[in-house]
Amino acid sequence: MKKLLCIAALAALVLTGCAKDLQVKTTEKLTVEYGDKLDNSKLFNAKESDKNIKVDKVQDFNAKKVGDQTLKVTFTDGDKTIQKDVKITVKDTKKPEIVLKKDKVTITAGDKLNLKDNVKSVKDPVDGALKYSDKETKKSGYYIDKGKLNTKKAGTYEVIVKAFDVNGNKTEKKFKVIVKEKEKAKATTEGQKSEAAQNNNNAGQRSETSSPSTGNQNAGTSGGQGSSTANTGSSSGSNGAQNSTPSQAKPSTPAPAPSEPYIVDDGRKDPRALPISMQSPIFDTPEEAYAWADQYYESDDENNPYWGLGYHGVGITYSDGSEKYSIAWY
């Protein structure tokens, strides 16, 4: 009996010793996107491994650590298990996202301007919102490169929003800042309006000459002669001359006052502007004026009448106090 037990134990030991280890072909050069969940099926090659192999456990994986990582992976077929090292590389290829409120911001020279107010959001697809910095930064934040912006000088400027994520990925987005010239005093007073109308009337009157008629001059001469021929008739002749009143010239018809409203201040007549500025249309808003100018300013067509010129926005004030906008070229 003892002999049979020994034989059975020996057979079991032989069978166990001859048991085959799991065959698993691990993946080489596996790349994982920063922040993504690990796909366990990609850790091994199922076609070159034993049947029914699955990943039982993964250790030492960090989705937010860029660079090479060595993972300890336990594989199983349901009966047997085996642990192997699998090397992977985590890469961050997703750049920050910048959303602006407007492509253009318009102010008047001397106005305060907070460029950050035109930034709707700046965020990383994985880590979320990035913080604003008033200084240049290269990591985990964004700042605004003002370039040559001068809010006290009329002109069109370009600024750049620059964003960096935690791993140094960079995104840029540009927008324009349009600084228009400070507008002159608006709306004339009622007295100034009246004076303008009176000046027009005077100009019309100066164009006509008023003088006595020739007949009246002769009547006066005749009266003078009558007074020299007779002593008693002199009085009568003289009175006759005095009673003969020369006819007065009728006053000229006043020139009509300009119809309301009329332009009292035209920024296109700026002494620094070129004469071609008077061909610029008049618009209801500064945005419309700048949009019209931009199509010429940004054109490469040398035949366009404004090619090679610079411009700035100007105001046009009317007698009723209203205001419109246009462009002065220089």
58 and 102 housed in the same domain: no
Is residue 114 within 8 Å of 88, Cβ to Cβ? no
Q: Which of 132, 161, 180 delimits the end of a domain?
A: 180
CATH code assigned at 77: 2.60.40
Q: Is residue 122 part of a domain?
A: yes
Q: Is residue 143 part of a domain?
A: yes
106 and 172 housed in the same domain: yes
Q: Positive or negative CA dihedral for 56, 59, 62, 67?
A: negative
Hey, what amino acid is at 57?
K
H or E element, residue 143: strand 141-145
84 and 116 housed in the same domain: no
Hey, what amino acid is at 53?
I
- Residue 262 has φ and ψ, to the nearest 5°, of -120, 160
Tell me the pairing of strands 67-76 and 54-59.
antiparallel
H or E element, residue 133: none
Rounded to 10°, the helix 214-229/231-243 angle is 160
Q: How far apart are CA 39 and CA 41, in angstroms?
A: 6
Sheet architecture: strand order including 119-124: 97-100, 119-124, 128-129
102 and 44 housed in the same domain: no
Domain total for the chain? Answer: 3
Q: Is residue 282 part of a domain?
A: yes
84 and 37 housed in the same domain: yes
DSSP class of residue 24 equals -
Q: Is residue 315 part of a domain?
A: yes
Q: Positive or negative CA dihedral for 140, 142, 143, 147?
A: positive
Q: Is residue 285 part of a domain?
A: yes
Q: Is residue 197 part of a domain?
A: no
**pLDDT for position 209:** 45
Q: Which of 74, 91, 108 delimits the end of a domain?
A: 91
**pLDDT for position 106:** 95
> Taking the model in full, what pTM does it have?
0.52
84 and 135 housed in the same domain: no
Q: Burial code of 181-216, b = ≥16 C-beta within 10 A, e = fewer? A: bebeeebbeeeebeeeeeeeeeeeeeeeeeeeeeee
Hey, what amino acid is at 78?
G
31 and 73 housed in the same domain: yes
Q: Is residue 227 part of a domain?
A: no
**pLDDT-flagged residues of the chain (< 70):** 1-19, 184-257
**pLDDT for position 284:** 92
Q: Is residue 102 part of a domain?
A: yes
Q: How far apart are CA 145 and CA 201, in angstroms?
A: 58
Tokens of 146: 């003002």
- Which among 16, 163, 143 has a CA at the least distance from the CA of 94? 163
Q: Which of 131, 156, 180 delimits the end of a domain?
A: 180
Q: How far apart are CA 80 and CA 44, in angstroms?
A: 16
Full domain range(s) for residue 173: 97-180
Q: How far apart are CA 176 and CA 173, in angstroms?
A: 11
87 and 101 housed in the same domain: no
Helices and strands (H and E) in the chain: how many: 5, 14
Q: Positive or negative CA dihedral for 11, 12, 15, 17?
A: negative
124 and 164 housed in the same domain: yes
Q: Collapse the DSSP code of 86 into the 3-class scheme (helix H, G, I; strand E, B; otherwise coil) and give the result.
A: strand
CATH code assigned at 167: 2.60.40.10
173 and 124 housed in the same domain: yes
Residue 158 pairs in a beta bridge with 176
